[in-house]
Homo-oligomer: A and B are copies of this chain.
Amino acid sequence: MSENNLCTVGSQSLKLKKEVYINGSASIVGKKEGEGPLGLLFDMVGEDDMFGCETWEEAESSLQKDAVYMALGKAGKKPEDMRYIFAGDLLGQSIATSFGIMNYNIPLLGVYGACSTCGESLTLGAMAVSGGFAENVICVTSSHFASAEKEFRFPLGYGNQRPLSASWTVTGSGAFVLGAQKEKECKAKITGMTVGKIVDFGLKDSLNMGACMAPAAASTIASHFVDYNSQPEEYDKIITGDLGSVGQKLLIDLMRDKGYDISDRHLDCGMEIFDAGTQDTHAGGSGCGCSAVTLSAYILKQLSEHNWKKVLFVPTGALLSKTSFNEGQTVPGIAHGVVLESV
């Protein structure tokens, strides 16, 4: 009975019958991100990374609150116009989200996909709007350098050394207002998605997350091409979330093994947001906030100015916790693909 209604393509992708519009977005970042190559593009840059709060976790919550506030403002919407909010972060039990967006009083669907969470929230938000479950929703994700280091690795005060394969968690939050109707401030549209599988190559190094996540990115991107029966050339850019310079090399090699050359059109948000040469960020930026703020500030700008017509946006996540790491588990990866087109 529902066959005719299905918008599934291939084994794990979707082509939306009703496309979904990104009618507003906003980004807020910390001081270091503001000093990076994309610094002038962000909507707000903090003077320090506490954002007037008492703890790093509260600071991260305030990032989500501010990103949602600004995105709603730019879309000309109020919180009560948003039927649902799809939100998540990197902290245990997603506390940055809970305490950040609570006061908007928007029904919450909490999501977790490590640093791929921006892709997951856009995927589920677009399903909700396209499927007739909401007229408008908002998606928000965040990360914070200091809260993430505490959550996953060492207290900052310990001053541990970081190998060159390590990435630097972005302090920032990006929010996106999705709607069924194209509105005045529309930046781009979501036309399809490829939901990622967990891919585990057995790596255990939490200070080389690019290597841990590259196989998952390759899996999702290759599945997307197969499902869509498409080729890299059909996309102006193929943009991963936070593979960094180590992960990028691996991704390009893995994709060659699968028969696709993406080397001339691959971008990584983690490599765009910092100048590794001068900012001491080693492999690049990472975190739920990295792909979210880069999407809002840079990628959507290129699409809205028609410099790019179509991109495959693939936030990447490393599925570890401090507990799993300490218990000797591997660091599996996941990546979710979202097809963004200019309008």
Residues of A within 8 A of B (CB): 1-2, 5-8, 11-12, 14, 17-18, 55, 57-58, 80, 83-84, 88, 90-95, 98-99, 101-102, 105-114, 120, 123-124, 127-128, 130-135, 150-151, 180-181, 195-198, 200, 319-324, 327, 329, 332, 334
Do B93 and A319 touch across chains, with their CB atoms under 8 A apart?
A: yes
Name A20's closest neighbour in chain B (CB-CB).
B2
Could you list some 11 contacts between A and B, CB below 8 A?
A1-B18, A2-B180, A92-B92, A98-B319, A102-B332, A109-B113, A109-B123, A111-B111, A127-B127, A127-B133, A150-B323
Residue of B nearest to A6 (CB): B132
Residue numbers in B under 8 Å from A323 (CB-CB) = 57, 91-92, 95, 150-151
Known contacts A91-B323, A127-B127; A132/B2 CB under 8 A: yes
Contact status of A12 and B107, CB under 8 A, knowing A181-B1, A327-B57: yes
Say yes or no: A92 contacts B133, CB within 8 Å: no
User: How far apart are A288's CB and chain B's nearest CB, in angstroms?
Assistant: 11
Q: Which residues of B contact A107 (CB under 8 A)?
A: 12, 195-197
Taken together as a complex, chains A and B put the C-alpha atoms of A181 and B1 apart, in Å, by: 8
How far is B69's CA from A147's CA once the two chains are assembled, in angstroms? 37
Cβ of A321 and Cβ of B196 under 8 Å apart? no
Q: Which residue of B lies closest to A84 (CB)?
A: B195
Q: Which residues of B contact A322 (CB under 8 A)?
A: 92
Least Cβ–Cβ distance between A283 and chain B, in angstroms: 21
Once the chains are docked, how many angstroms separate the CA of A195 from the CA of B323?
31
Q: Of B2, B105, B109, B320, which contacts A111 at CB under 8 A?
A: B109
List of B residues within 8 angstroms of A133 by Cβ: 6-8, 14, 127, 131
Verify B92–A2 contact, CB threshold 8 A: no
A17–B2 CA distance with the chains assembled, in angstroms? 11
10 other contacts beyond A6-B132, A8-B132, A91-B321, with CB at 8 A cut-off? A5-B18, A6-B133, A57-B327, A84-B195, A92-B322, A93-B321, A95-B320, A99-B324, A110-B120, A111-B112
What residues on B are CB-neighbors of A198 within 8 Å?
98, 101-102, 108
